[in-house]
Amino acid sequence: MFSNLKPQPADKILALMQAYREDPRDQKIDLGVGVYKNAEGVTPVMRAIKTAEKQLWEVETTKAYTGLAGDPAFSDAMINLVLDGAVARDRIAAVATPGGTGAVRQGFEAIRLANPDARVFVSDPTWPNHLSILKFINMPTATYRYFDEQSGGVNFDGMMEDLNQLQKGDVVLLHGCCHNPTGANLTLDQFQTVVDKLNEVGAVPMIDIAYQGFGDGLEEDAAATRLVAKSCPETIIAASCSKNFGVYRERTGCLMAISETAAQTPVTQGTLAFLNRQNFSFPPDHGARLVTMVLTDDALRTEWQTELEEVRLSMLGLREQLASELKRLSNSDRFDFVAHHRGMFSRLGLSPEIVEKIKADFGIYMVGDSRINIAGLNQTTVPLLADAIIKAGG
Ligand code: PLP
Ligand code: TYF
């Protein structure tokens, strides 16, 4: 049986992570996988999460199964975090999932159950797992233009032109904030234009929000998701807690599906729970419980928001430093977009050859499409990266 198996394509980001580990050089810099690292290169357990874990040990009396949807208190806390009352609670179905990836996967499967003909439109480029999961579960896909390599910004005209292909029932996947891999984001006005288009044709938005709090702030980063959810009859939201709570390996995420009417919600909720059961029965609980504790306890929440803000501002500072260093070395403003991008990532617009040269000559690892993880830098390594980019011909 297994002899029938063919090698599967590797995840380029995870392969890069492995190549970095195997590089014997001392001076190497990892700007690959999207994991936050502080100035010492450490991915810390966030302070509020550490405290919550200690408290949980004291109060947790059982590890018996939760429910197929996970703990409803987690869904409530995540709905408040992401939507903050933008949509009536009785229109929202929600389940805990294994990470944001689990939410994306279950969201796609819910779409397929509801409308097998729906095409899912994703940005070009997008997080590679979007396309690979859609392909794996045989869902029809399409792409819309998104990134303008020249300016490092969004090609909004191209995007809207491609969305003219939408038909009723199609789904458009949007990044709620901090676009991965480009770092370039729609303005709220542009989101409104997209929403108007979706409503005009009867297409459905799906929002992937994996970096709330990493861009312009916790509330600011949710503004687009709230706008979309408020303005469209139906919305699907896949939220990840991996980055903003630093609970990557606990696999913590939430899938929300907003129905047009409250009367529909029980069937939508039942469908999400059913999908969980088909795939893994009960979602992981530990990370979800910690997140719930942090979000619902005033002291823990304040501590969490303070640290999240430190993380956000440290990345913004590095962006500004890198943009100004590149301005100085290139004697031009062509890299200014680095300071305008938001989130963990920026796509620099370098050719694969230059990316390879930067890796070979300087031990600096970025994804082949020239995506860098800003958090992989610190104040000392920013000038090294800028220097390498210019010396490699970027
Ligand atoms: N969606 C996007 C756009 C991402 O960048 C990520 C990456 O972490 C995820 C979803 C899912 O992350 P996780 O499954 O680790 O929560
Ligand atoms: O884009 C990233 O780097 C993060 C982490 O299969 C990640 O989203 C990368 C690959 C993957 C899962 C998560």
Give distance in angstroms: CA of 150 to centre of ligand 1.
27
User: Catalytic residue among 48, 93, 184, 210, which?
Assistant: 210
Average pLDDT over residues 117-123: 98
Concerning whether 127 is annotated as a catalytic residue, the answer is: yes
Domains of the chain: 11-46+301-388 (3.90.1150.10), 49-298 (3.40.640.10)
Q: What are phi and psi of 177, to 5 degrees?
A: -160, 170
Q: Whose CA is nearest to atom 8 of ligand 2?
A: 34
Token couple for 71: 């703990």
What does the alpha-carbon distance between residue 120 and residue 203 come to, in Å, rounded to a whole number? 10
Is residue 243 pLDDT above 90, yes or no? yes
Give distance in angstroms: CA of 239 to centre of ligand 1.
8
| Entry pTM | 0.97
State which of 129, 214, 241, 244 you would mutate to test the pocket of ligand 2, scoring each by most atoms of that ligand within 8 A of its C-beta: 129
Give distance in angstroms: CA of 174 to centre of ligand 2.
17
- Complex ipTM, two decimals? 0.98
Q: What confidence category does residue 88 fall into, taking pLDDT thresholds of 50, 70 and 90?
A: very high
Number of Cβ within 10 Å of residue 187's Cβ equals 11
Give distance in angstroms: CA of 263 to centre of ligand 2.
37
Q: Whose CA is nearest to atom 4 of ligand 2?
A: 34
Is residue 394 pLDDT above 90, yes or no? no
Q: How confident is the model at residue 162, as a pLDDT? A: 98
Is the minimum distance from the CB of 18 to ligand 2 under 6 angstroms?
Answer: no
Average pLDDT over residues 56-61: 97
Give distance in angstroms: CA of 240 to centre of ligand 1.
6
User: Catalytic residue among 69, 93, 103, 127, which?
Assistant: 127
Q: How confident is the model at residue 264, as a pLDDT? A: 98
Q: What confidence category does residue 157 fall into, taking pLDDT thresholds of 50, 70 and 90?
A: very high
Q: How confident is the model at residue 352, as a pLDDT? A: 96
User: Catalytic residue among 48, 170, 222, 243, which?
Assistant: 243
State which of 8, 11, 13, 211 you would mutate to test the pocket of ligand 2, scoring each by most atoms of that ligand within 8 A of its C-beta: 13
Average pLDDT over residues 356-376: 96
Q: What confidence category does residue 179 fall into, taking pLDDT thresholds of 50, 70 and 90?
A: very high
State which of 240, 247, 280, 373 you would mutate to test the pocket of ligand 1, scoring each by most atoms of that ligand within 8 A of its C-beta: 240
State which of 17, 177, 179, 180 you would mutate to test the pocket of ligand 1, scoring each by most atoms of that ligand within 8 A of its C-beta: 180
User: Catalytic residue among 30, 208, 221, 285, which?
Assistant: 208
pLDDT above 70 covers a percentage of the chain that reads 100
Q: How confident is the model at residue 93, as a pLDDT? A: 98
Give distance in angstroms: CA of 127 to centre of ligand 1.
8
pLDDT digits (tens, 9 = 90+) for 352-364: 999 999 999 999 9
Give distance in angstroms: CA of 100 to centre of ligand 1.
5
Query: SS3 string of the chain?
Result: CHHHCCCCCCCHHHHHHHHHHHCCCCCCEECCCCCCCCCCCCCCCCHHHHHHHHHHHHHCCCCCCCCCCCCHHHHHHHHHHHHCCCCCHHHEEEEEECHHHHHHHHHHHHHHHHCCCCCEEEEECCCHHHHHHHHHCCCCEEEEECEECCCCEECHHHHHHHHCCCCCCCEEEEECCCCCCCCCCCCHHHHHHHHHHHHHHCCEEEEEECCCCCCCCHHHHHHHHHHHHHHCCCEEEEEECCCCCCCHHHCCEEEEEECCCHHHHHHHHHHHHHHHHHHCCCCCCHHHHHHHHHHHCHHHHHHHHHHHHHHHHHHHHHHHHHHHHHHHHHCCCCCCHHHHCCCCEEECCCCHHHHHHHHHHHCEECCCCCEEEHHHCCCCHHHHHHHHHHHCCC
Q: How confident is the model at residue 289, as a pLDDT? A: 98
Q: Whose CA is nearest to atom 9 of ligand 1?
A: 100
What does the alpha-carbon distance between residue 117 and residue 63 come to, in Å, rounded to a whole number? 41
Is residue 186 pLDDT above 90, yes or no? yes
Q: How confident is the model at residue 237, as a pLDDT? A: 99
Is the minimum distance from the CB of 33 to ligand 2 under 6 angstroms?
Answer: yes
Q: Whose CA is nearest to atom 7 of ligand 1?
A: 210
Q: How confident is the model at residue 9, as a pLDDT? A: 87
Is the minimum distance from the CB of 143 to ligand 2 under 6 angstroms?
Answer: no
Is the minimum distance from the CB of 181 to ligand 1 under 6 angstroms?
Answer: no
Q: How confident is the model at residue 10, as a pLDDT? A: 86
Question: Using an 8 Å Cβ cutoff, are 272 and 280 in contact?
Answer: no
Is the minimum distance from the CB of 99 to ligand 2 under 6 angstroms?
Answer: no
